[in-house]
């Protein structure tokens, strides 16, 4: 039995109908009052956090740091090698703007490693990286807010009488990273920050949480859409206010899709007139094909022995969808016929989408639909990835009709990593189906807490 299982069972034993009802009243009120909403939907319908042991979190932190080191090496190699850069399918416009930031020393100030987690009896968790959210990782402020509300519930109060717990706070690390790259850029006082994305997004509530947090620490913060930005005399303005730091939440391909490279933010980054997090060059690692680059045998020379071991252990076999020969389990395969013949083992993903858009799970579709997905993957840049097991745990939940139950949920485990090495905070998503994604409407979130067992 995994070390965490007795703690989880204790929590479930405490989850009587009355305890669940009392805890849900606290959670619902706290989420509505605390901007813990995705659009108009409450962030969580679960009544317990994701629980991990100290050893599991330590292992996840080590995995995160080692894999990010490998990603950083790939980033530096791609900057100087156009052939290697071509493996992630940058568009011509992306090629231009990535070049504006070629001299930066920290590729991804804030990243999120989206993983599957299975608790093992050995105490070492089974962790598999499914995606590297290197461009604009969401949920940092959301998860901290959820942890604060969960700590107020009767269920967690009762659980803490049996087990000491520690939430994984992420906002302080985000602030520290913001200030660190601002100082590296040349900032001397506190920055004036613009959080930039489209208006009306369901994640707008998290922007408010960051605005409140940064303002509390003396940093003037505005939430603006791209149309409200101008660049005049070497100064970037957001709603008429001069800003020198941009917390970019808008995705690069969406910005380019609307404006091309003719936008004030792009001009300001080109001229080094503003510090931006996360940078346009993060797109090199945000592409799904970056996992193919790391796991492909032809790129093994880029990485240390420790990094190669982590890649083999934690990154599922991933390849660009194209006509080629490659290797799997020490045997050479013809990739396209292999994909067609092994749909039960494989997932197809567009190279540059988010929110689960375009992801096809081979085991969930017919043979004809799978072939159609392969044909589409050959028309637009896509990757194929080996299926990995997803963790499943029991959670007290609130059902759509308002009733309470304890039900199984698929679980992911997505550590945030700051400043290239520090793992702090973790997004956990739960789903009753096969696609763990809140944006796609297929799940809910819950905070992650470390338990001393």
Choices 3.30.1490, 1.25.40, 2.60.40, 2.40.160: CATH for 317-386: 3.30.1490
Q: For position 393, what pLDDT does the model report? A: 95
Domain 5-286+391-451 matches domain 317-386 at the CATH topology level? no
pLDDT value at 107 more than 90: no
CA 365 distance to own-chain centroid: 26
Cβ neighbours for 19, distance < 8 A, ≥ 6 positions apart? 154, 155, 158
31-34-37-41 Cα dihedral, nearest 10 degrees: 40
pLDDT value at 161 more than 90: yes
Q: How far apart are CA 294 and CA 301, in angstroms?
A: 10
Second CATH level (architecture) for the domain 5-286+391-451: 3-Layer(aba) Sandwich (3.40)
pLDDT value at 442 more than 60: no
Average pLDDT estimate for 51-77: 95
Indicate the domain borders of the chain.
Answer: 5-286+391-451, 317-386
Q: Per-residue confidence at 134, pLDDT binned at 50, 70, 90? A: very high
Q: For position 435, what pLDDT does the model report? A: 58
Tens-digit pLDDT profile for residues 333-375: 999 999 999 999 999 999 998 777 899 999 999 999 999 999 9
Proportion of the chain above pLDDT 90, given as a percent: 89
pLDDT value at 153 more than 80: yes
In Å, how far are 40, 44, 195 from 199, measured between CA atoms? 15, 23, 11
């Amino acid at each position: 039995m995994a070390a965490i299982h007795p703690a989880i069972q204790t929590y479930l034993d405490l989850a009587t109908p009355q305890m669940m009802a009392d805890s849900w009243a606290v959670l619902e009120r706290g989420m509505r009052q605390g901007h813990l909403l995705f659009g108009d939907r409450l962030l969580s319908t679960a009544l317990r956090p994701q629980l991990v042991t100290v050893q599991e979190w330590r292992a996840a932190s080590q995995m995160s740091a080692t894999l990010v080191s490998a990603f950083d090496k790939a980033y530096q190699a791609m900057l100087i090698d156009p052939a290697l850069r071509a493996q992630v399918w940058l568009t011509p416009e992306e090629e231009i703007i990535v070049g504006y930031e070629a001299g930066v020393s920290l590729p991804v100030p804030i990243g999120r490693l989206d993983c599957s987690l299975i608790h093992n009896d050995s105490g070492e968790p089974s962790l598999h990286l499914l995606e590297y959210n290197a461009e604009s990782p969401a949920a940092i402020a959301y998860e901290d807010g959820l942890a604060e509300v969960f700590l107020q519930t009767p269920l967690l109060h009762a659980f803490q009488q049996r087990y000491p717990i520690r939430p994984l706070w992420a906002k302080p690390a985000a602030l520290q990273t913001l200030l660190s790259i601002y100082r590296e850029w040349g900032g001397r006082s506190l920055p004036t920050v613009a959080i930039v994305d489209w208006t009306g997004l369901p994640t707008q509530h998290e922007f408010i949480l960051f605005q409140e947090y940064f303002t509390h620490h003396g940093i003037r913060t505005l939430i603006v859409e791209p149309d409200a930005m101008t660049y005049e005399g070497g100064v970037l303005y957001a709603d008429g206010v001069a800003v020198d730091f941009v917390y970019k939440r808008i995705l690069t391909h969406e910005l380019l899709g609307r404006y091309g490279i003719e936008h004030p933010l792009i001009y300001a980054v080109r001229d080094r007139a503003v510090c931006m997090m996360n940078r346009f060059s993060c797109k090199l690692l945000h592409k799904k094909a970056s996992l193919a680059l790391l796991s492909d045998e032809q790129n093994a020379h880029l990485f240390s022995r420790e990094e190669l071991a982590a890649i083999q252990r934690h990154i599922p076999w991933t390849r660009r969808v194209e006509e080629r020969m490659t290797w799997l389990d020490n045997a050479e395969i013809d990739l396209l016929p292999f994909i067609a013949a092994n749909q039960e083992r494989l997932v197809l993903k567009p190279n540059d989408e988010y929110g689960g858009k375009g992801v096809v799970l081979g085991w969930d579709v017919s043979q004809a639909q799978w072939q159609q997905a392969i044909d589409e993957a050959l028309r637009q840049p896509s990757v194929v990835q080996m299926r990995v097991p997803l963790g499943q745990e029991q959670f007290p939940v609130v059902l759509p009709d308002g009733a309470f139950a304890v039900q199984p949920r698929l679980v992911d485990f997505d550590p945030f990593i700051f400043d290239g090495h520090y793992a702090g905070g973790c997004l956990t998503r739960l789903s009753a189906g096969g696609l763990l994604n809140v944006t796609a409407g297929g799940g809910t979130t819950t905070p992650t807490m470390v338990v001393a067992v």
